[in-house]
Structure 1
Amino acid sequence: MKGIRGISKLSTRLYAAQVARKLDVSAEHVKFQPQEVQVTKLPSGLVIASLDNYSPGSRIGVFVKAGCRYESPENQGVTHLLRLAANLVLLVHQHDVDRSFNVLNTVVTSSRENMIYSVDCLRDHIDTVMEYLINVTTAPEFRPWEVSDLTPRVKMDKALAAQTPQMGVIEGLHGAAYKNALSNSLYCPDYMVSQVDSDHMHNFIQNNFTSARMALVGLGVDHNVLKQVGEQFLNIRSGMGTAGTKAQYRGGEVRVQNGSSLVHSVVVSEGAAVGTDEAMAFSVLQHVLGAGPHIKRGSNPTSKLFHGVAKATADPFDASAFNSNYSDSGLFGVYTISQSAAAGDVIKAAISQVKAVTGGVSEADLTRAKTQLKAEYLMSLESSEGLLDAMGSQALSGGVYHSPEAIAQKIDSVSATDVANAANKFVSGKKSMASSGNLIKTPFVDEI
């Protein structure tokens, strides 16, 4: 509802007052010591990560290595169904939820690598809320008739995604760039709509939702409480589950011809895996080139891509560096939006700007890019959603959490040579390309 802040953003003074009443003292005398993120890995492999920020509201999430990259040809689209089916478990308890107002918000999202189940709740009702979250992730029923009823929602999701050119281009890019794993779509393929059934969903959860592939993460919750919940309820299935296939980059092209006057196009080479020093160099390179406007609805006056492309065309356009990192691979390149007639000039001008960086980058540009990257990362942690995602992603991938100070140090350690090497990897690497729009003036990947 507009005008009402989320419960996790309420002042800590409210929680202080509640504690004061219980202790029968003045709220001014209640002192809270700043807490650090705590991470514990249980013998089962389950990772517990928490930060007690003394908020009256808590946010709890279960992160699972069960993204669409783990789908097989026989169950393509199952993660799409799992996203939509999560609320089926909550509906069983909907009366209790409405009556007690324990659960304030439930969100289920997925990426190519992970599925994330998160809930917002009042701090005093964590035990009750955890029951819902555990039922969603470990004990779903997936009644056949309910799964069949999801078909219209699957079709609607796909239709909405198709109306977003950026989504279609990025999905097409992954399909063209990889032979397997990361080529799987976030959405159920047309030929599998209504073919994925409750057995597919149960089998996928049985094979992938194991303790060693999960992280239980909480904000506004005591670490010992969260640890106890994990030990009692999420030590469910032992083992590493389904072994993921290593992504194989191949390079390729997909073109979607339609009547749009705007051409969306992305050209990439293989980048770097998440968490590596090379990935950090690519992130700095992204900001050297221009990662998009840093002010809402603003221009990007420091973007090399913007100024370089502006010299090549007088038509309206947009250009930004594209960077995506996964556990075993990555994609780096340029994303352009232009009028159909100018598409070729815009794409080639953007790529030329990356080539220019291979010769070196000035100290001023390097410092600016690092500052922007650090600011972007720190700002992402200001919201409970962003902080929970950072904690969960790091805990799930490596069983640790790197503080903002540690991340800033890694950014500062990137040298001009590292950035130039990253640019050279893009320039010399095998290209992948995805384009959508009126493509009569859009070059093919072997022409750029």
Structure 2
Amino acid sequence: MTSNLAKFPLFRTATIRGYAQLAPLGGISSCELKTTVLPNKLVVASSESQSPITRISIVFRAGSRNEASDNLGVTHVLRNSAGLSTKNASQFAIIRNIQQVGAALYATTDREIVSYTLEGPRQAIEKALPFLTEVATQQVFKPWEVSDITNRLLLDIATRPLQLRAIDLVHNAAFRSGLGNSLFIPKSQIGKISSETLQHYVASNFLSGRASVIGLGVDISDLESYAQGLKLETGEGNDTPSPYKGGELRSNKGGNTAFVAVAGEGAALRDAKEALAFAVLQRAIGVGPHIKWSTRDNGLLSKSIGASIDNYASTTFNVSYADTGLFGILIAAPSKSAGSLVETAVKLLKCTKISEEDVTRGKNQLKTSLLLDGESGTHTLQNIGTQTAILRGASIQSPSQIVALVDSVSANDVQCALKKAAKKLTLASIGNLTNVPYLDEIK
């Protein structure tokens, strides 16, 4: 029995709403990244990759961590509202004109950012670009259109995979509010997010000092001219700290399987050296098999478990936010085996000595992953968009530049990262929890 658990993207969990996404076609994966900051604090970054596919994204630092108790789920509704009628274009006009030229437009949200991305052939982008502007900056949220997406919200909630729900729970347990807010609207909030709530959230967070415009396959001067024409309110808004606190949450849903996430505090994105150390540690512990149909990898967790337990899957997750991070292990296993697997994972986090060999393997896997992502325009755009939205005027690194920094990570850096993660653990579980121990029961 195999599982797709390890294949699920957990580095920075994002949710997407949009139409068909286009695959990258050729181009230069290691091209120079140029950045500039406009007088209104709007960051512009572009890389002319010579690809026949052009991608332009407008990114706002307005993810679910900015939600308050009275508007929980507003970013989920906002994501699903992408493409609704705007000040100057109807929903029909947006869809027809984008599809007519062979482009695609989609909205992506995670706990820190909301982004709107347009991609398509170079000759099509110029025609479709006004509709990206409309969707990202000229929303009106007509009440009857907002009410029409209720069934879509319910479908999103109903189809969440259990591993994603476990990651949501571990965030909630670790941070409580802020970064603990879910990517999905609570059922109790459906129908309560009004047009006025959406307008207020956009007015408070879609500001020039919290935004960036990113382009791949477009010249920086052209992108800068486009960015200067965006009608964004000036300001930087307020960022509320979301410190790591730790805790435990359990959701007993029955069935035959338990999904358990054990985590500790990770690295902040602003601390590049520590963030890279955690990324290497993630690969050293194991992110799942690298051979098709295999159920094992060569990571420390698989070695610790050995061949004594079958039909389980595991992966290490590592996510860096602006001011903190979350690092841990996610396990999916039959209920009868879950207890021993969780105890093994906790012991690994608390007592493991990372060897030079493990660090070298982790570095090689990390560099391979970064370079493969660099060949994907979509992954590169998301990576740069996150950096520009959070780091602002600081140095923005392309995937190839980050790879060059990986070799500077030492075994001691990785060991210190593991010690930080093990200081105060968080446990979240969902499924059949009959044999899943409580956090205070694990020695």
Provide TM-score, normalisation by structure 2.
0.88
1:53–1:219 contact (8 Å) kept in structure 2? yes
Bigger shift: residues 47-56 or 293-302: 293-302
Report what 1:50 is aligned to.
46
1:61–1:218 contact (8 Å) kept in structure 2? yes
Report what 1:83 is aligned to.
79
* Alpha-carbon spacing, 1:350–1:7, altered in 2? closer, same or farther (3 Å): closer
Residue 39 of structure 1 aligns to a residue whose secondary structure is: strand
1:180–1:248 contact (8 Å) kept in structure 2? no
Q: Equivalences for 1:339-358 in 2 at 5 Å? A: 339-357=334-352
1:388 aligned to 372, 381, 393, which one? 381
Residue 72 of structure 1 aligns to a residue whose secondary structure is: coil
1:96 shift after superposition: 5.0
1:383 shift after superposition: 0.9
Residue 132 of structure 2 aligns to a residue whose secondary structure is: helix
1:65 shift after superposition: 0.4
Bigger shift: residues 315-324 or 199-208: 315-324
Rounded to whole Å, the distance in 2 between the matches of 1:75 and 1:289 is 38
Rounded to whole Å, the distance in 1 between the matches of 2:299 and 2:355 is 14
* Alpha-carbon spacing, 1:374–1:183, altered in 2? closer, same or farther (3 Å): same
Report what 1:16 is aligned to.
none
Pairing 1:239–2:235 present: yes
Rounded to whole Å, the distance in 2 between the matches of 1:404 and 1:9 is 16
1:258 shift after superposition: 2.0
Residue 93 of structure 1 aligns to a residue whose secondary structure is: helix
Report what 2:216 is aligned to.
219
Report what 1:370 is aligned to.
363
TM superposition outliers: structure 1 runs of 4+ over 4 Å: 5-8
Report what 2:156 is aligned to.
157
1:95 shift after superposition: 6.8
1:309–1:346 contact (8 Å) kept in structure 2? yes
1:153 shift after superposition: 1.2
1:288 shift after superposition: 1.1
Residue 217 of structure 1 aligns to a residue whose secondary structure is: strand
Report what 1:440 is aligned to.
434
Aligned residues: 415
1:320–1:336 contact (8 Å) kept in structure 2? yes
1:446 shift after superposition: 0.9
Report what 1:113 is aligned to.
112
Rounded to whole Å, the distance in 2 between the matches of 1:86 and 1:314 is 45
Rounded to whole Å, the distance in 1 between the matches of 2:333 and 2:377 is 36
2:254 aligned to 249, 259, 262, which one? 259
Task: Show CA shifts across 1:322-352 (max 9, x none).
Answer: 2121111111122111111111111111222
* Alpha-carbon spacing, 1:214–1:54, altered in 2? closer, same or farther (3 Å): same
1:39–1:49 contact (8 Å) kept in structure 2? yes
Pairing 1:430–2:413 present: no
Residue 81 of structure 2 aligns to a residue whose secondary structure is: helix
Seq. identity, %: 35
Pairing 1:322–2:317 present: yes
2:83–2:94 contact (8 Å) kept in structure 1? no
Rounded to whole Å, the distance in 2 between the matches of 1:269 and 1:327 is 16
Rounded to whole Å, the distance in 2 between the matches of 1:338 and 1:248 is 31
1:306–1:320 contact (8 Å) kept in structure 2? no
* Alpha-carbon spacing, 1:140–1:405, altered in 2? closer, same or farther (3 Å): closer
Task: Show CA shifts across 1:90-148 (max 9, x none).
Answer: 624247516x8225211111000001111113312433322111111111111111111
More helix by share: 1
Rounded to whole Å, the distance in 1 between the matches of 2:305 and 2:108 is 36
Q: Which of the two has higher C-alpha Rg?
A: 1
Task: Show CA shifts across 1:201-258 (max 9, x none).
Answer: 0111111001111111111112111100101224x210102x1210022211111112
Provide TM-score, normalisation by structure 1.
0.88
Report what 1:28 is aligned to.
none
2:58–2:211 contact (8 Å) kept in structure 1? yes
Gaps of 5+ in 2: 1-19
Q: Equivalences for 1:191-230 in 2 at 5 Å? A: 191-230=188-227
* Alpha-carbon spacing, 1:251–1:112, altered in 2? closer, same or farther (3 Å): same
1:82 shift after superposition: 0.7
RMSD, aligned CA: 2.1
Report what 2:407 is aligned to.
412
Report what 1:135 is aligned to.
134
Bigger shift: residues 278-287 or 110-119: 278-287
Report what 2:12 is aligned to.
none
Residue 136 of structure 2 aligns to a residue whose secondary structure is: helix
Task: Show CA shifts across 1:374-404 (max 9, x none).
Answer: 1111111111101111221222222342134
Rounded to whole Å, the distance in 1 between the matches of 2:140 and 2:117 is 19
1:430 shift after superposition: 1.9
* Alpha-carbon spacing, 1:118–1:297, altered in 2? closer, same or farther (3 Å): farther
Pairing 1:309–2:305 present: yes
